[in-house]
């Protein structure tokens, strides 16, 4: 069965000013990403700030056009163009609902406008659709008459989720959607997403720099480093037996998550080098405790074992021993 979303060798570049000579250079924010996401999958996308997670999300949404590669949605090529129907089917929730929700508009009017715009329910059913939505995200009906600025951070994020669901999408992309919330509000929103996924059969792409929240929700984890996917595996496997030195370092950095059989390798040191300075070869090599000369020579090909793939030459070595 073909995947609902297929990303093929995607590349996204942004012109940026070169710090040295002031000229314009191209920064590869996403560089050679291949990813299939199946219907009703819940995929976590993790990696340090600047590795390209939001850029990838924006490509999924059709907000950023890649310079190379393809995006297929339900078999249709939506790389350069998507019609309103296709747009509706993928919705996004952002980190900061305060900036994505107009603070002065009542929740009712925001949701009603979307439902009416897409002609999703007959006029007589509008009120019950609104109530259904607000109920679905675990908020009391009176929130319909509130303005976002009168709500707590957790409530606002629920409203943002209700807004995304108002147009009956199949895919929900959550970009750092719980990162601004305190731990208890985070846990509640994560539970809500898990419930919604089950009830609605939603496909979830859950982006976070925080591996802990990804672990709580996702069945599959995709790790990015400087625009590339370095490891992609079922969540349990990734957390118990990470293969890429970068994944190991990320896990070692969080005491609660470090695999029980602690994998050798230091915690992550240094800042990621800029995507500008290192094209070709493994992007992680300058910080990698296991790097060898060959790592500079080529992009490491994926070593694939069932649903687990890892872009690291040293994994290949271990596998052949
Ligand atoms: N519109 C833009 N113009 C120039 N550079 C950008 C733009 N958006 C993102 N970038 C750069 O692309 C890289 C990836 O950014 P982003 O996708 O936001 O990463 P993440 O979400 O993982 O933190 C970063 O180096 C960032 O500075
Ligand atoms: Mg981001």
Q: Is the CB of 226 under 6 A from ligand 1?
A: no
Cα of 191 vs centre of ligand 1, distance in Å, is 29
Residue 61: what pLDDT? 95
Residues with CB under 5 A from ligand 2 (ion): 53-54
Cα of 139 vs centre of ligand 1, distance in Å, is 34
Domain 5-268 has CATH 3.40.640.10: no
Structural domain spans, the chain: 5-268
Query: What CA–CA distance (Å, rounded) separates 232 from 56?
Result: 15
Query: What CA–CA distance (Å, rounded) separates 4 from 309?
Result: 20
- φ and ψ at 181, to 5 degrees? -95, 155
Q: Write out pLDDT tens, residues 199-252.
A: 999 999 999 998 989 998 999 999 999 999 999 999 999 999 999 999 999 998
Cα of 100 vs centre of ligand 2, distance in Å, is 15
Half-sphere exposure of 241 (CA within 13 A, CB side): 7
Residue 265: what pLDDT? 59
Residue 156: what pLDDT? 92
- Say whether pLDDT at 320 is over 60: no
- Say whether pLDDT at 67 is over 60: yes
Q: Write out pLDDT tens, residues 11-23.
A: 999 999 887 888 8
Nearest CA to ligand 1 atom 1: 14
Q: Which regions of 114-248 does DSSP assign to beta strands (E)?
A: 171-175, 203-207, 220-225, 228-234
Query: What CA–CA distance (Å, rounded) separates 221 from 42?
Result: 9
Alpha-carbon distances of 139 from 60, 115, 306, 312, rounded to whole Å: 29, 18, 41, 46
Query: What CA–CA distance (Å, rounded) separates 114 from 110?
Result: 7
Q: Write out pLDDT tens, residues 267-297.
A: 676 666 666 655 679 999 989 989 999 999 9
**Closest atom of ligand 1 to CA, residue 55:** 17
Mutational pocket test of ligand 1: of 11, 27, 61, the residue with most ligand atoms within 8 Å of the beta carbon: 27
């Amino acid at each position: 069965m073909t995947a609902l979303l297929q990303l093929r060798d995607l590349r996204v570049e942004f012109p940026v000013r070169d710090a040295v000579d002031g000229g314009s250079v191209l920064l590869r924010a996403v560089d050679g990403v291949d990813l299939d996401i199946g219907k009703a999958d819940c995929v976590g996308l993790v990696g340090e700030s600047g590795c390209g997670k939001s850029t990838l999300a924006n490509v999924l949404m059709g907000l950023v056009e890649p310079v190379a590669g393809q995006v297929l949605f339900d078999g249709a090529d939506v790389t350069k163009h998507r019609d309103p129907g296709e747009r509706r089917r993928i919705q996004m929730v952002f980190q900061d609902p305060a900036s994505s929700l107009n603070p002065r508009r009542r929740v009712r009017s925001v949701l009603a406008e979307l439902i009416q715009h897409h002609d999703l329910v007959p006029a007589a059913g509008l009120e019950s659709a609104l109530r259904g939505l607000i109920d679905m995200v675990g908020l009391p009906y009176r929130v319909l008459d509130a303005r976002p600025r009168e709500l707590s951070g957790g409530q606002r994020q629920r409203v943002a989720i209700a807004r995304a669901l108002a147009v009956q999408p199949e895919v929900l992309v959550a970009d750092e959607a719980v990162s601004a919330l305190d731990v208890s509000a985070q846990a509640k929103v994560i539970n809500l997403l898990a419930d919604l996924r089950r009830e609605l059969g939603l496909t979830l792409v859950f982006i976070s720099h925080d591996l802990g929240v990804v672990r709580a929700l996702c069945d599959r984890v995709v790790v990015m480093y400087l625009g590339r996917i370095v490891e992609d595996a079922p969540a349990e496997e990734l957390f118990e037996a990470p293969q890429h030195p970068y994944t190991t370092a990320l896990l070692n950095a969080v005491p609660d998550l470090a695999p029980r059989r602690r994998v050798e390798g230091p915690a992550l040191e240094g800042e990621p080098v800029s995507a500008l300075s290192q094209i070709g070869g493994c992007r992680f090599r300058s910080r990698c405790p296991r790097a060898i000369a060959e790592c500079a020579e080529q992009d490491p090909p994926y070593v694939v074992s069932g649903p687990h793939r890892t872009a690291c030459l040293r994994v290949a070595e271990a596998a052949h021993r």
